[in-house]
A and B are shown apart, each in its own frame.
Chain A
């Protein structure tokens, strides 16, 4: 199998605080992980591509200083939302691929972030 987990599954934080979301590939090594944001009843928007041991590549319009991504190992990537604001409330989803060139992405279950 190819299982991707996310932690936490949901989190509530106050404005101005930071929150970290973990994405783990449980039974495979992921050379590349992706972070998406999904608004209610809308599609997934790619935020950034994360490669192990290198800096993440952010999509146009995504603030890299606000959404810090660290791909520390072949099984773990983290997304830190810094100085969170209510407009950052969303569903964040990660995915992973086993190696570049293989198109299938394995998705995590998502993390619901609510900023009060």
Chain B
């Protein structure tokens, strides 16, 4: 079956530091890959997505590239801000699972001023 593995958190960074949150997946065929963000007290929001190999999703300074060869979709940002503090979820939607999502464990990010 499909599965998503994220790096364990929590992650604590200083403002303007570089961020990487690792995500690897297991799926048959060519899944679509997503990063969702959950700010405190709010629902999940789609941060970025990539639907085919070598696609790069980007939004709000965050980027992730769909790497088929390493089955990875690592999230990066060059300079984090305090407002980026949230929980980040990597997820996939398989070729045969329609819109159903499989989530990773989530990574808590705290950015200190």
Contact = CB atoms under 8 A, between A and B. Distances in A.
A4 B45 CA distance: 11
A45 to B, nearest CB: 8
Q: How big is chain B's contact interface, by range?
A: 20 to 34
Interface in A65-113: 93, 95, 97, 100-105, 107-110
A51 to B, nearest CB: 11
B13 to A, nearest CB: 19
A42 B105 contact: yes
B100 A101 contact: no
Contact of A43 (B42, B49, B89, B99): B89
B32, B42, B103, B108 — most chain A CB neighbours (10 Å):
B103
A49 B97 CA distance: 11
Interface string A11-53: 0000000000000000000001010000001111010010000
Contact of B99 (A41, A44, A103, A110): A103
Given A49-B100, A100-B98, A105-B99, A4 B43 contact: yes
Interface string B78-113: 000000000001000100001111111110100000
B106 A110 contact: no
B102 to A, nearest CB: 8
Nearest to B106: A43
B44 interface: yes
23 contacts: A34-B100, A42-B106, A43-B104, A44-B44, A44-B89, A44-B101, A44-B103, A46-B101, A93-B44, A97-B99, A100-B98, A100-B99, A103-B49, A103-B51, A103-B93, A104-B46, A104-B49, A105-B46, A105-B101, A107-B45, A108-B43, A109-B41, A109-B42
The 6 A-B residue pairs with the shortest CB-CB distance, nearest first, are A107-B43, A107-B44, A109-B43, A43-B103, A43-B105, A44-B103
Interface of B: 32, 34, 36, 41-46, 49, 51, 89, 93, 98-106, 108
Interface of A: 4, 32, 34, 41-44, 46, 49, 93, 95, 97, 100-105, 107-110
Given A4-B43, A32-B99, A101-B99, 10 more contacts: A34-B100, A41-B108, A43-B105, A44-B101, A44-B103, A49-B100, A93-B44, A95-B44, A104-B46, A107-B43
